[in-house]
Amino acid sequence: MTEPLRWGVLGCADIAVRRVLPTAARLPEFALTAVASRDAAKAEATAARFGGRPVSGYDRLLEREDVDAVYVPLPTGMHAEWIARALRAGKHVFAEKPLTHDVGRTRELVGLAEGLGLVLRENFMFLHHGQQRRVRQLVRDGAVGEPRLFSAAFAVPPRDPSDIRYDARLGGGALLDVGAYPVRAALYFLGDGLRVAGARLRHDPAYGVDVAGSALLAAPGGATAQLAFGFEHHYTSRYEILGSEGRITVEPAFTPLPDHEPVIRWERRGGVELIRLSPDDQCANALRAFADAVRRKDPAPDPGLLEQARLLDLVRGAAAGV
């Protein structure tokens, strides 16, 4: 049996404590050896729940010889610095999305990881859920004919004003937090080469970040993508692929729970078919994919990572009239 990946955590963020660490604790591929926080009490509490040694400060964790890889759930604005430090310390990196807030910085980190022969992965869990693979196969098999329109929305109700997503200094804003999901989904189903035909971001002056937005993308083959996202909506997590001969709808699309039984709605001239799938744990799948890449010593970046970063920059620019 392959030895588990010895990993450490840089920061005790909500996503780490609520989803990623509990999932990894059930997987034989991982062994948590250290938990770092700038707050010693947080590190101790998290380590008490999930194992590993509590460490005060991120640098001290990166110095440890019993850590082969690190998980970075820090705010987006801190990703670039600590991902680069982790890579230079010889650690593989599994980071929350988006990798950075700038395509140039993302490209630098990808190049750094490849040059050092280290694995760098971005935690877009929904890409690892079986329903996405099934839908893409249906589309490739002609289930909707020629794809004409991809539409997607990911939106959540307002959060507490103290939430880091409202902090511009930490890389906050709806585009990077929830807007990245429909952008990545458009790439997944329509392929590379998407062009931003238009975009709008609504900024809240009280926070200095965008709290809602939409974008229109154009694919080389003629299809378009209509995307919507925000922090001030009824919870919505869905996408739809409308083609010349049918339509496929998935909801919830981006954050289904591990026990959720997905249903793909497939409409065509002959009627409506509900394709029922078994539950799937996208968080566990994403973690296993990372561990497998480390085992295979495969430093190639995630497919679509750089294209996604490019598109997010273009959406921001189009909304600003650049």
Would you list the DSSP string of 170-220?
Answer: GT-SHIIIIIHHHHHHHHHHH-S--EEEEEEEEEETTTTEEEEEEEEEE-T
Q: For residue 296, tell me if it sits in a domain.
A: no
Q: Are both 172 and 276 inside the same structural domain?
A: yes
The amino acid that residue 307 corresponds to is E
pTM here is 0.95
Q: For residue 309, tell me if it sits in a domain.
A: no
Q: Are both 150 and 275 inside the same structural domain?
A: yes
Q: Are both 187 and 49 inside the same structural domain?
A: no
CATH label of the domain that carries residue 38: 3.40.50.720
Q: Are both 272 and 221 inside the same structural domain?
A: yes
Give the SS3 label for residue 108.
helix
Mean pLDDT score across all residues of the chain:
96
- What are the structure tokens assigned to 309, written together? 């970063």
pLDDT in the model for residue 2: 80
Q: Is residue 42 annotated as part of the catalytic site, yes or no?
A: no
Q: How far apart are CA 169 and CA 154, in angstroms?
A: 23
Among 42, 91, 97, 297, the active-site one is: 97
Question: Residue 268 belongs to what H/E stretch?
Answer: strand 263-268
pLDDT in the model for residue 185: 98
Average pLDDT rounded to a whole number, residues 77-97:
97
- Please, which residues have CB within 8 angstroms of residue 106's CB and are 6 or more apart in sequence? 98, 99, 100, 305, 306, 309
> pLDDT tens digits for 209-246?
999 999 999 999 999 999 999 999 999 999 999 999 99
Instruction: Find residue 36's DSSP bridge partners.
Output: 10, 55
Q: Is the predicted pLDDT of residue 203 greater than 60, yes or no?
A: yes
Q: How far apart are CA 10 and CA 152, in angstroms?
A: 32
The amino acid that residue 282 corresponds to is Q
- Please, which residues have CB within 8 angstroms of residue 191's CB and are 6 or more apart in sequence? 219, 220, 221
Average pLDDT rounded to a whole number, residues 307-316:
97
Q: For residue 318, tell me if it sits in a domain.
A: no
Q: Are both 209 and 168 inside the same structural domain?
A: yes
Backbone angles phi, psi at 201, to 5 degrees: -125, 130
> pLDDT tens digits for 238-273?
999 999 999 999 999 999 999 999 999 999 998 999
**Residue span of the structural domain in which 61 resides:** 5-123
Q: Is the predicted pLDDT of residue 308 greater than 60, yes or no?
A: yes
Q: Are both 75 and 93 inside the same structural domain?
A: yes
